[in-house]
Structure 1
Amino acid sequence: MTEPASVSSSIPSTATGAPSRLRGKAGAITFGLVGYLFFVEFVSGVLQGYYVPLISDLVAYLGIRDADFNWFEAAQLLLSALVVPVLAKLGDMVGHKRILLISTVLTAGASWWLVFADTFWVFLIAWALQGFYVVWLPLEVALIFDRGRRTDTGASQTRRAAGYLVVALEAGAIAGALGGARIFAAFNENVALTLSIPAIAVTVAFFVIWFGVPESTPQPGRRLDTTGFVLLTIALLTVTSGLTFLRINGPATWWVYALMAAGLVLLYPFGRWVLKHPDPAIDLRVLRQPSMWPVQLTAGLVGISILGAQAPLSTFAGTDPANGFGLGLDASERSYIIGAYLVAMIIGALLFPLVSRRTTPRVAMIAATIAVAIGYLAFLVNNATVVGVTLNMVVAGIGSGALVAALPAAAAAAAPLGQTGIATGLTNTTKTIGGAFASAVFAVVLAMTAGQAVTETASTLGSYLVVFAICGGTAVVAAVALLVVPRLAFSDAPAEIDDAPVSRP
C-alpha cells in the first residue's frame, strides 16, 4: 500500500523505528492505512463543524424558529444512539470496512438530500440520517486494532493511530466551522450550493475507503442477535426521547420522567435475554470485567462535559457583564475560545500515546480525566476574565482530547476476539447518552433561573456554577472508576512498561 505523502508528512514520528517495524510485518498497522482513515475522520469533523455558523441562515431558509433547530440535533442524537451498537456488531460479523462503506453511503445520501431539502420535515429526516457518520470512528479503531492484533505492538499502535484520527476529527471541525460561513458568502448566500460541499466531501470519503482501506477479518459462524438489539433499541429510544423532551418541554412535564423510567425498566428484559444468548447483542459478561466497565462508564461521564457543556459555555461567554458575571463576547469572539478548546483537544490526543508509553495506559487515562476535572472545577473560582476562561477550557480540552482517542482504543484492547467493533461502538453510545443527559439537565438548570439576572434572558451565576461543578465532579468519578482497571490493562509486551516479565493481560 502506497503511503500518502500529504498525510504521512503531517504525522509526527512518536516512536523511534516504528515505521520500519510496522511495514515489516504482514497485516500490521501502516501509516498508509492511518492516512486514508485520517481523511475520513477529517470529513467527519467537517460535518460536525460546517453547519454551526449556518444555523441562523438555515432557520431563515426553512422558515422556522430558532428553537425548532433543537429538533434537528435531537433527531440526529437519537439516531446515533440507536444505530451505533447495531452497525458496530455487524462490523464484527461481516467486516468493519464493509459496514464503514455502508454507513458512508447512507451519510452521503442524506448529505445530498439536505442540498434539495427545503421544508422542515424533509430537512429533519435528512439531517437525522446524516448522523450515520457517528459510527465511523468506532469502526475505524476496530479495523485498526484488528490489523494490529497480529503484531506485538497492536494496542500501542492503535492508541497512536486513534490519536491521529482525533487530530483529523478536530482539524476537520475547525476547518468546517471556519469554512462554512465563508463558502456561504462566496456562493452569494446560496444555501443549496453551500450544502453541496459537505456532500461532495462525504462522497470522496467513500471512494477513499473503497480503494485505500483493507478489510478486517470477521469471525465465522456469527449471527445477529435481532431480539437483543430490538430490546436495546426500544430501551435507548425511550430513555433518550425522555431526555430530549425534558430539554424541550421543561421540568414541569411529568410524563418525560415516566418515559425515562420506562426506558430504564426495559433494560431488565434486555439483560435477561442477552445473558442467555450464545452470541448476544452486547455480552454483559465481557462488559462487567474490570478492564471494560470503567472504560464504558468513563465514556458516559465525560460525554457530560464533551457533548453537554458546550452550549452553556457559549452562553456564559456571551452573557453581558452587567449581570455581574459573563464575558460579553460576540459570536466571532467566542469562536476564538472554542478554537483554543479544539486545538487543546488535538494536543491531548497526540500526548496520550506518549504518556501511555512512559507510564501505563491506565495512568494516562486517569491523568486525562483529572485534567477535565481541573478544567471545569477551575470555573468555580476563575471565571471573570477571557484569559481565565480560555485557560480553563484549554486544560479541559487536553484531557477531553486524550479521552476521545483513548476510550475506543482501550475498549478494543479489552475486548475478546470478534467483539472489538461492539466494544468501541459502546463507548460512542454511552458518551452520546451522557451528552443527552447533560443537555437536558443543563437546559433545565439554566432555564429555571433565566430572567433572574439584570439581562432579561440571562441565567444566574449560581446556575452556571452548578453546570461546571457537575462536569468537574463527574470527571472525578470517572478517575476513581479507572482505578479499578488492572495496572497493565490495554498494554503491549511487558517491555513497553518495564523490564519485568509479566503475562499479557
Structure 2
Amino acid sequence: MHGAVRHGPAEPGVLVDTPRPTARTGGVVGILAFAGIVAAITQTLVVPLIAELPKILGTSSSNASWVITATLLAAAVATPVAGRLGDMFGKRRMLLVSLTPLVAGSVVCALSSSVVPMIVGRGLQGLGMGVVPLGISLLRDVVPAEKLGSSIAIMSASMGVGGALGLPFAAAIAENSSWRVLFWVVAALSLAVGALIRFLVPRDAESRASQGFDVLGAIGLGIALVCLLLGVSKGADWGWGSGTTLGLLAAAVVVLLAWGRWELRVEDPLVDLRVTARPQILLTNAASVLIGFSMYAQSLVVPQLFQLPEGTGYGLGQSMLAMGLWMAPSGLMMMVMSPVGAKLSAARGPKVTLATGALIISLGYGLAVPVIDGGSTWSLLAVTLVCNTGVGFAYGAMPALIMGAVPQSETASANSFNTLMRSIGSSLAAAVIGVVMAQMTTDFGGHALTTAGGFRAAMLIGCGVALAAAFLAALIPVRAPANKDPLATEPSAPEAATAQA
C-alpha cells in the first residue's frame, strides 16, 4: 500500500494527499546519513589544529581564528539559500551542487601555506553545509511514509556521529601525519558522497524553477547574518562595548527589520515569513535556538575538563586524542537512540520527543555540576552520553515538526531556516559561555585557567536553557493528524484561512 503525506503544491496551508514511494530505501538513508557525517567532520576538522594554526600559517592567533569564523559565516549565509534553491530546482540536484564547494574548499586548504587561502578554503567548505537540511528534506520525497520518522532521526543523528568521530579522527591524523592529509581525506569523502548520490539516490519531487529567486532577500539576509554572527563570535576579542561590536549588532537589527519588510512584500520570498509565523513553526524555531545553545555549551566545557592539568584539582590531564576518544561514544549514542526517539514521535508526536530531549539534556547538565570537582573520565563520559541522548531526540523531532507544518514544495527552505536557528543558538552559546569562563579564572603556572566555579556556572546556564527549550516545546500547538503520518499536521482553521487569503 502507498503511504500518504499531506502537502500542497502551491498554497501553504492547503494540504492534499499525495502518494509516497514504497521502494526499499535503506541504502538511500544510509547515503544521506553518510553525507551528514562528512559535513559534520568538516566542521570539527580544524579543532585539533587550533593551537598550531598560527605557526602552520605564519600568522597571529587573532588572524588564525578566522579559519573557524569563515566557515561559520559562509554556512549561515549559504544554508537558507541552498534550501530555497532546493525547493526550486530539486533537493538532490542542490545536494550535488553543495558538495562542489566542499570538495574545492578542502583542496584549497590542503594546498594552503598561508592564512588567506586557508580562510578562503574554509569559507568554501562552509558553503557546502546546506547538505544536512537538504538531505533531511529529500527524505520526504524518496522515503515511504512509514519509514520517514525513523529516517529523519537517523539523518539528524549523523551530525552528532560526524562531530564525535571527527575529533579523534582529526587528532590522530594531526599527531601522526601531515595536517594536509585531513583536508585530502575530506575531499575524497566528499567526492565519494557525490558519486553515491549521483548514481544511487532517486530524483525528488517536481521543482518550482518557474518561480523567481529572491536575490535581494538573499543578499539582505546574508548581510544581517554576517553582522550578527561576526559581532557575536568576535565580541570577546574586540570588546563587547567596542564600537565595532555594537555597530555590527545594531546593523544586524536594522537590516533584519528591512529584510522582513521586503520578504512580506515580494511575490516569491526567500523565506515565507507568513508560514514561518505559524505557531508550530515559530515555537519550534525558537526552541531550536535554545537547543542549539544547550547542545553546544557542553561541547565547550567538557573537552576543557578532559584536557586541563590534573594539578588544577578538576582537570583530567588527557591528550587531545584521548579526549576525542572519550567523547566519541556520545556521538554514537545519538545514532543508537535515534530509533527510540522515532518510536516516541510515532506514538506521542514529535512535540513530546522534542520536550523529552530537552529535559534529558538538562538532566545531563545537572549530573555534570557535582562531578566537576573530583570527577573522572567515566563520570564525564556519562554526562556526554546523557546530554547527547537528549540532543538525538531533539534533533530528530525538530525537522519532523517543521515538515509537518509546511507544504512539500517548501520543505528544504523551512528545514534550512530551522538549521540556521540552531546555528545561531550555537554561536550565542560560544559567546555567553566564553564570557563566563573568561571572567571566572585563576592563575595556574602563569596561565589564566577557568575555575571550577566557572565551569559549574557554564553547566548551570546550559541546564537552564535546556529547561527553557522544554517549556517552549510544550507550548507548540500540534493537532494529531487523521492519517497517522508523523509529519502531517493539520493547520488550524484560522491559519488555513489566512494561507488561502
TM score, norm. by length of structure 2: 0.85
d(CA) in 2 for partners of 1:503, 1:49: 36
Partner SS, residue 327 of structure 1:
coil
d(CA) in 1 for partners of 2:32, 2:482: 23
Structure 1 counterpart of 2:221, from 226, 229, 232: 232
Partner SS, residue 278 of structure 1:
coil
Q: Which residue of 2 aligns with 1:13?
A: none
Query: Does residue 1:109 correspond to 2:104, yes or no?
Result: yes
Partner SS, residue 408 of structure 2:
coil
Deviation at 1:80, TM superposition (A): 0.8
Q: Which residue of 1 aligns with 2:426?
A: 435
CA contact (8 A) 2:86 2:94 kept: yes
Structure 1 counterpart of 2:282, from 281, 293, 309: 293
Deviation at 1:196, TM superposition (A): 1.4
Aligned AA for 1:40?
A: A
d(CA) in 1 for partners of 2:296, 2:284: 17
Query: Does residue 1:382 correspond to 2:371, yes or no?
Result: yes
Query: Does residue 1:409 correspond to 2:397, yes or no?
Result: no
Deviation at 1:488, TM superposition (A): 4.0
Deviation at 1:77, TM superposition (A): 0.5
CA contact (8 A) 2:168 2:328 kept: no
d(CA) in 1 for partners of 2:484, 2:166: 42
Query: Does residue 1:474 correspond to 2:465, yes or no?
Result: yes
Q: Which residue of 2 aligns with 1:139?
A: 134
Q: Which residue of 2 aligns with 1:30?
A: 25
d(CA) in 1 for partners of 2:260, 2:237: 30
How many pairs align?
A: 470
Query: Does residue 1:81 correspond to 2:72, yes or no?
Result: no
Aligned AA for 1:329?
A: Q
d(CA) in 1 for partners of 2:325, 2:35: 26
Aligned AA for 2:187?
A: A
Deviation at 1:65, TM superposition (A): 4.8
CA contact (8 A) 2:168 2:324 kept: no
Query: Does residue 1:127 correspond to 2:122, yes or no?
Result: yes
Aligned AA for 1:245?
A: K
Q: Which residue of 1 aligns with 2:168?
A: 178
d(CA) in 2 for partners of 1:194, 1:325: 32
CA contact (8 A) 1:290 1:486 kept: yes
Structure 2 counterpart of 1:165, from 145, 155, 166: 155
Q: Which residue of 1 aligns with 2:353?
A: 364
Query: Does residue 1:465 correspond to 2:456, yes or no?
Result: yes
Deviation at 1:484, TM superposition (A): 2.1
CA contact (8 A) 2:153 2:341 kept: yes
Query: Does residue 1:206 correspond to 2:197, yes or no?
Result: no
Greater shift in the superposed pair: 115-124 or 168-177: 168-177
CA contact (8 A) 1:319 1:326 kept: yes
Aligned AA for 2:201?
A: V
Deviation at 1:288, TM superposition (A): 1.5
Go from structure 1 to structure 2 and tell me whether the alpha carbon gap of 1:360 and 1:173 turns closer, same or farther (over 3 Å shift). Answer: same
Go from structure 1 to structure 2 and tell me whether the alpha carbon gap of 1:308 and 1:223 turns closer, same or farther (over 3 Å shift). Answer: farther
Alignment of 1:183-332 (within 5 A): 183=173, 189-217=177-205, 218-219=207-208, 221-332=210-321
CA contact (8 A) 1:319 1:328 kept: yes
d(CA) in 1 for partners of 2:327, 2:489: 44
Deviation at 1:299, TM superposition (A): 1.5
Cα RMSD of the aligned pairs, angstroms, is: 2.8
CA contact (8 A) 2:363 2:387 kept: yes
Partner SS, residue 240 of structure 1:
helix
The sequence identity of aligned pairs, in percent, is 24
d(CA) in 2 for partners of 1:396, 1:291: 25
Deviation at 1:332, TM superposition (A): 3.8
* Cα offsets for 1:90-117 (capped at 9, x unmatched): 1101111111111101111111111211
Go from structure 1 to structure 2 and tell me whether the alpha carbon gap of 1:105 and 1:378 turns closer, same or farther (over 3 Å shift). Answer: same
Deviation at 1:246, TM superposition (A): 0.6
Greater shift in the superposed pair: 248-257 or 236-245: 248-257
Aligned AA for 1:178?
A: P
Deviation at 1:408, TM superposition (A): 2.3
Q: Which residue of 2 aligns with 1:90?
A: 85
